[in-house]
Structure 1
Amino acid sequence: MTQKVDRIVVVGGGSAGWMVAAALVTGLKGRAAVEVVESEDIGIVGVGEATFPSIRSYNQLIGIDERDFMRATNGTYKLGIRFCDWLTVGQDYFHTFGHFGNLFGSQTLWAQHRRMGLTEPLGVQCVPTVMAMKGRFVLPSEQAQFKYAYHFDAIQYAAFLRKLAMQRGARHTQGRITEVSRRADGGVAAVQLEDGRRIEGDLFVDCSGFRSLLLGQALEEPFVDFSHWLPVDGAWACPTERVGEELAPYTQATALEGGWAWRIPLQNRTGHGHVFASRFIDPDRAREQLLARLDGKPLGEPRLLRFTTGHRERFWVHNVVAIGLSSGFLEPLESTSIYLIQDGIARLMTLLTAGRPVDENDRALFNDGAARRFARIRDFIILHYCLTRRRDSELWRHVSSMELPETLAFRMELWRRYGVLHEYDEEGFDATSWLAIHAGMEHWPQRNDPVFAEIPPERAMQALDQRRKAIAASVEHMPQHHRTLLKMLG
């Protein structure tokens, strides 16, 4: 069955719904009517405050000015994530959006760093890592090239996109959906609202969050469960007043007894949360641990979210495509929720702008690619857990001994034996990111490639020392993160 699309109905608002709508009205340029059906009675998750560098590409593609965006969402800059207590209690490392460079052509920096037996973290050889450690931030330049992301208020971001999308022609319909009408071929014909209105469409984009109103409930698409490897199934979220003038240009993720805690600095407040596995810690105890960690006055009572890690077996079925939480969820350890929304939007836009009706082969390719993307990111997140040396609680004993997905076990073995950072298709994170985790968790190959020894030790040490000193000196002259923000925002 081929599908011609003249009317697109986006079910649900929030970041996912309005990101979809803004992309559709911008990219299709009026070739299809776009309508967002949103209920004020149904809350949105709205705690997705940390992002991945790809968010900048999305904003640029739909024509959002960075200053306008930062002002509207209380945004701050993000250079990466600081992981505390993941390897052992008291040790931390950074996963930043930079590279570690090469020494002597093919002689990789990390290999020479390890060969020299240096105890300092590999991060001292990475510009954005040192910037993060010192609380500095400048925009990239020819002298310092790196990627960056943002922290922002997800609810304000949705409101910002709603205004933009409506200005460009999207229609906004408010009302609670009480019934889903089906077509003869199994697809969705219309959604019925509580007040009797009937909204018809050719294509329905399910952005209804964890409820997965269309794909999960109406079409009953099965769920692929990842909780064997990613057992966290709940999160307490609690924002606090901002304390002090300085702002860390990174997210902090601290490993705890039964999960991990996040800290995300915004201009006007700080986001705190505790992601936990209820089979290893009582939710009330997880709440207490979160409250004990707050570094400012709470701006409300902690809010509990429940979820299962995994995704729908298919993402596009008949004329329903799910984007965002309605399609699946991977825990927020690497801030990939909004990235996965973007990934779904990009796949959708590629097909809708191809100049021909969408057919079954298109949907199959969409589904296969999206499933592989979830699996690749799943493996990357598992890597953070399975390399731990902690054995002080049931959770850490479980993740350190569990059987790994074959795809992850294979690439870990290649790294361990040969120092090869294998990459599949549909990767969410490049080899540099994998290296940052391996290095941070002190997981190194069993032996060095003999070619690395062809560089005299004194020459390698001199090159490493010069690079470290040059980076440190460069960062020392950079402004503090909060001062960069003040200057940019006026």
Structure 2
Amino acid sequence: MNGIRRIVILGGGSAGWMSAAAFATGLRGVAIELVESEEIGIIGVGEATFPSIRQFNDILGIDEADFLAATRGSYKLGIQFRDWKQRGEHYFHTFGDFGHLDGPMALWGQLRRLQVAPQTPLGEFCLPTVMASQGRFCRPADGDQGLASRYTYAYHFDATLYAAFLRRLAEGRGARRTEGRVVGVERHEDGRVRALRLADGREVEGDLFIDCSGLASLLIGQTLEQRFVDYSHWLPVDRAWAVPTERAPGGLAPFTRSTALEAGWAWRIPLQDRTGNGHVFSSRYIDEGRAREQLLAQLDAPPLAEPRLLRFRTGHRERFWVKNVVAIGLAAGFLEPLESTAIFMVHNALGRLIPLLGEADHAEGAVGFNVQQLRQFQRIRDFIILHYALSERRDSEFWRALTSMALPESLDYKLHAWRETGTLHVYDNEAFDTTSWLAIHAGMGHWPRRRSPWLDEMPAELAGRYLAERHQAIAALATHMPEHDSYLRSRMQAL
């Protein structure tokens, strides 16, 4: 492994144990040691993810039913956004598809061409959106079976249980855990980290160090002094109250819910045995006490604990791989969890890092890694800002500020391309594809100013039949799918 014989991971939690499991699975002949202290807590709230988590689990050889049982997990078809456009309105960010997105067959374009207000929502032409609205779930059909196979899904799960699950897997594949609180970092003359010094005097030496120390960013931030690139002028939320509740009455929703509030938004993540709830807010626009009250007012079941306050800044370190230290997870940066990107950022970084470790020139690999990680943060930043920028809410100082602020040039260009030409422009290193961008534009009622002349190439009668057939096919498919609760129970009973 080109000089790397021992990898030391600082910090446990999801990021640390995902790293340990990935290295223990993908790297041969390398000793993996994870250092963590039971004295230091982890964030550990309920997690929502998006579909790429399935690929990560598959690479590790994790059986889905085992995973769901161990983490109290449930299925996720997307995110429901409540009160984001205006109070009383909602839309769905789907993990499905909307058919063709450009040219004469563009479904959204033909729908707008043929209908007069009030229009049938675009979501009714997307199978997982309809499934979610009815509380149904079924995994996509194998192979190419039309609409029944053209969607995907993710999970909700308990992050603390996921870390424990991955710990068992990683240790079973040779990773070693060391209990200890780090009180110092020893370095070589050239600045590379040589060892972590523990409170009891022990030293843990390594060739490569993975910083999973969370928001403390002990190695990449404090030791190697990488500047924090602050995004709070675009994303001013800097606090979150989190609280678990009893499982909500009724069926288990196969989606995450985000509800816009006075100075932020509330999340709801349904697990098998409880519900994760939280309120992400900006202390610039609301005090902590009032934000706590607003969270408690959102709960639809009794709380299981007192709300816990988390403090953070949105942004990232200037570089992510410096000398022999690579930051993964919160140590690298934080973006508000509006689109469930935290776990994605971990496994995506690992997938990018591991192949580079086998190359001869790690310095060159670090340059490319840093560029791609930077772009990843910027692309996700823009997608999150999109939700605020398109809102029509002006009922609080927070919303007036976020809907009138100057946008990053990269996002401004995308919005211009969409408004003027109907083009869903995406860059490299995007986490969200054109379907995701369309879901937000459609949900917010943000459409191009002019209709594409290409749409008229399809006769109106044919276009109408095309829309009606898809609408009817989706309704029929959804009707025959099991409820999410029933499907999940059948998966658990198969163990």
Provide the TM-score with structure 2 as the length reference. 0.96
SS at 1:373 equivalent: helix
Residues 378-432 of structure 1: CA deviation (Å, up to 9, x unaligned): 0011000000110000111011110000000001100000000111111110001
1:322 alignment partner AA? A
State how far apart, in whole Å, the 2-side matches of 1:459 and 1:164 are: 54
1:74 pairs with 2:72:
yes
State how far apart, in whole Å, the 2-side matches of 1:60 and 1:87 are: 37
Correspondences of 1:110-189 after superposition (within 5 Å): 110-117=108-115, 119-141=119-141, 142-143=145-146, 144-145=148-149, 146-189=151-194
Residue in 2 that maps onto 1:448: 451
| Higher alpha-carbon deviation: 229-238 or 447-456 | 447-456
Q: CA deviation at 1:464?
A: 1.0
Residue in 1 that maps onto 2:369: 366
1:246 alignment partner AA? G
State how far apart, in whole Å, the 2-side matches of 1:185 and 1:486 are: 56
Conserved 8 A contact 1:4-1:358 = no
Conserved 8 A contact 2:104-2:454 = no
* Distance change (3 Å), C-alpha of 1:359 and 1:107: same
1:365 alignment partner AA? G
SS at 1:81 equivalent: strand
Residue in 2 that maps onto 1:37: 35
SS at 1:152 equivalent: strand
Residue in 1 that maps onto 2:11: 12
State how far apart, in whole Å, the 2-side matches of 1:10 and 1:268 are: 32
Residues 252-290 of structure 1: CA deviation (Å, up to 9, x unaligned): 000000000001100000011000011011111000000
Residue in 2 that maps onto 1:288: 293
Residue in 2 that maps onto 1:325: 330
SS at 1:49 equivalent: strand
SS at 1:173 equivalent: strand
SS at 2:454 equivalent: helix
State how far apart, in whole Å, the 1-side matches of 2:355 and 2:362 are: 13
Residues 91-148 of structure 1: CA deviation (Å, up to 9, x unaligned): 1000010101139985210100111235121000001110011100001013412110
Conserved 8 A contact 1:73-1:152 = yes
Residue in 2 that maps onto 1:98: 96
SS at 2:393 equivalent: coil
1:408 pairs with 2:406:
no
Aligned-CA RMSD value: 1.3
Conserved 8 A contact 2:85-2:392 = yes
State how far apart, in whole Å, the 2-side matches of 1:296 and 1:125 are: 33
Residue in 1 that maps onto 2:252: 247
State how far apart, in whole Å, the 2-side matches of 1:326 and 1:35 are: 18
Conserved 8 A contact 1:51-1:338 = yes
Residue in 2 that maps onto 1:348: 353
Calculate percent identity across the aligned residue pairs.
61
Conserved 8 A contact 1:224-1:311 = yes
Q: CA deviation at 1:488?
A: 0.9
Q: What 5-or-longer segments of structure 1 have no aligned partner?
A: none
1:485 pairs with 2:488:
yes
Q: CA deviation at 1:150?
A: 0.1
State how far apart, in whole Å, the 2-side matches of 1:438 and 1:102 are: 16
Residues 312-361 of structure 1: CA deviation (Å, up to 9, x unaligned): 00000010000000000110000000000011101111112x3x334321
SS at 1:107 equivalent: coil
1:386 alignment partner AA? A
Q: CA deviation at 1:456?
A: 2.5
2:31 alignment partner AA? A
State how far apart, in whole Å, the 2-side matches of 1:21 and 1:53 are: 21
Conserved 8 A contact 1:203-1:319 = yes
State how far apart, in whole Å, the 1-side matches of 2:213 and 2:79 are: 29
SS at 1:102 equivalent: coil
Conserved 8 A contact 1:225-1:310 = yes
Conserved 8 A contact 2:232-2:313 = yes
Correspondences of 1:150-229 after superposition (within 5 Å): 150-229=155-234
SS at 1:90 equivalent: coil
State how far apart, in whole Å, the 2-side matches of 1:341 and 1:292 are: 33
Q: CA deviation at 1:245?
A: 4.6
1:99 alignment partner AA? D
Residue in 2 that maps onto 1:109: 107
Q: CA deviation at 1:48?
A: 4.7
Conserved 8 A contact 2:104-2:456 = no
Residue in 1 that maps onto 2:466: 463
State how far apart, in whole Å, the 2-side matches of 1:292 and 1:392 are: 19
Conserved 8 A contact 1:48-1:338 = no
State how far apart, in whole Å, the 2-side matches of 1:357 and 1:308 are: 36
Moved over 4 A (4+): 103-106
State how far apart, in whole Å, the 2-side matches of 1:318 and 1:67 are: 40
State how far apart, in whole Å, the 1-side matches of 2:308 and 2:274 are: 16
Conserved 8 A contact 2:86-2:392 = yes
Count of aligned residue pairs for this structure pair: 486
1:189 alignment partner AA? R
Correspondences of 1:241-320 after superposition (within 5 Å): 241-320=246-325
Residue in 2 that maps onto 1:421: 424
1:462 alignment partner AA? R
State how far apart, in whole Å, the 2-side matches of 1:476 and 1:307 are: 43
Residues 194-244 of structure 1: CA deviation (Å, up to 9, x unaligned): 111100000000000000011111111101111111111110000000133
* Distance change (3 Å), C-alpha of 1:441 and 1:320: same
Conserved 8 A contact 1:55-1:149 = yes
State how far apart, in whole Å, the 2-side matches of 1:78 and 1:24 are: 27
* Distance change (3 Å), C-alpha of 1:130 and 1:137: same
Conserved 8 A contact 2:103-2:455 = no
Q: CA deviation at 1:52?
A: 1.0
2:423 alignment partner AA? V
